[in-house]
Amino acid sequence: MRFLDQLMALVLGCALLGLWAAPVHAAPASASTYLNVRSGPGPSFGVVDVLTPGERVDMTECQTNGWCYITHDGPDGWVSSTYLTAAPGAVLPNDDCSFQLTIGPDGPRFSIVCGGAVPGTPFPFPFPAPAPTPVGSQACFYDLPNFTGDVFCRGPGTYNTIPYWANNRITSVQLWGAARVRLCADINLGGFCRVVTTSEGQLGGLLNNRVSSLQVFIGTSPVPRPLPTAFSSGQIVLPDTLRADLDNGTVGAIGADIWYRVFGSPTPRLVPINGARFARGDGSDRGYARCSIETFTANPLPITALPVGTYVCARTNEGRISQFRIRAILVNGIQIEYTTFN
C-alpha cells in the first residue's frame, strides 16, 4: 500500500474509533491589514500565506508574546495579534470603546473595553487565571464590567502599588465575606480615593481604568498613613571634588552621601558614596511617594545626563528618602536644591 493510502487509512481508523482530538475552542477575528501567516509564533519563521484586509479567520490559541494560531480558507499558521480585530459584523457601542484581545484559560477572545483603553493594545501578559470562589474576606478586581474578564484577588492589607499588568485596568470589584476596599488613583494610596463597601459592577468615571493602589480591610476604614514630612532641606553649593551630606546639608567628608567628582573621568559626575544610592528615573519632580518606589543603584551620574532642572531621587546612607534638583552648573562646582524626608 502506498504511503498516502496508509496515512488516510490511519486517519479514517482514528476517526471511527473516536481517537481523533476534538477541535479546540476558536474565536472569530479578521485581519486589519495585509498580514503574513507564518509557520511559527514569531517574525523569524517562514511565511506560508498572506491574509487580506478584512479576511475572516478563527483563533485557536495565543501565546503571551502576542502571536496567535489561526485557521482559515488557506494554509493555517501563526500571526501577530497586533493586526487582528474582532470578526466582521462586530459593532462598538460608542467612540470611547475598543476591541481588546485577552488570553484566558479558555483560549483567546475579543472583549469590548470602554473608558480610556488604547485600541489594539492587549495586556502585555494575561491576568492570573481566575481562582475558585474566595474563602474568607477578600476583594477581587476585574478588568471588565460586571465581574467579567481577567481577575486577581487580595486579602486584607495595604497595596501601595498593584501588578503593572493590572495598573489602570480595574473596572469592577467583587467583595467576599466582610471585606471592604479603598481604591486610589495614584500609588501609595494617593490622589483621588474612594471606599467601596459592596460589590460594584462598574466603578464609574473617576476610578474606572484608573486605579494604581488599594487597601483591603475589614470593619472601619483605616486612616491612611500621612506622607513623611521634610527632615532636612535647603541648597548646597558643592565645589569640585568635595562631598555633601543629604541628611543635614553639610559639605565635608563625614557622613557624606554625594561626591562631585571631576577627575579620573572625561566627564564630571555625581557619585553616591558611603552606601547612599541614586535613581535618576525620568528626571521629574517625584517627591517622597514616587522616589520611595524607585530602583536605586550605586552608579555615578554624569553631569551631561543632568541638565539644569533635573530631579534625582536618592536614598541616604542613613536610610532616608531624599530628592535633589540641579539648580546650576558652576565654573568650579555645582549647585543643588534638596529635600530629605523623615
92 touches 131 (CB < 8 A): no
In the block, residue with C-alpha cell 476585574 = 142
Q: Cα-flanking dihedrals φ and ψ of residue 62, to 5°? A: -140, 150
Based on DSSP, count helices (H) and strands (E) in the chain, helices before strands. Answer: 2, 25
CA 242 to centroid of chain Cα atoms: 40
Taking residues 284-311, what's their average pLDDT? Answer: 89
User: 12-123 and 138-218 share one CATH topology?
Assistant: no
User: How many Cα atoms sit within 13 Å of 88 on the Cβ side?
Assistant: 6
Q: Which fold has domain 138-218?
A: Gamma-B Crystallin; domain 1 (2.60.20)
d(CA 266, CA 286): 30
d(CA 128, CA 151): 7
| pLDDT tops 50 at residue 18 | no
Q: Which fold has domain 12-123?
A: SH3 type barrels. (2.30.30)
Beta pairing, strands 56-62 & 27-31: antiparallel
Mean pLDDT of the chain: 78
205 touches 115 (CB < 8 A): yes
For the chain, which residues make up each domain, given as ranges? 12-123, 138-218, 230-341
Q: Which of 235, 180, 190, 240 is nearest to 212 (CA)?
A: 190
Taking only the tens place, the pLDDT of each residue in 238-295 is 999 999 999 999 998 788 999 999 887 778 999 999 999 999 988 888 888 788 888 8
| pLDDT tops 80 at residue 100 | no
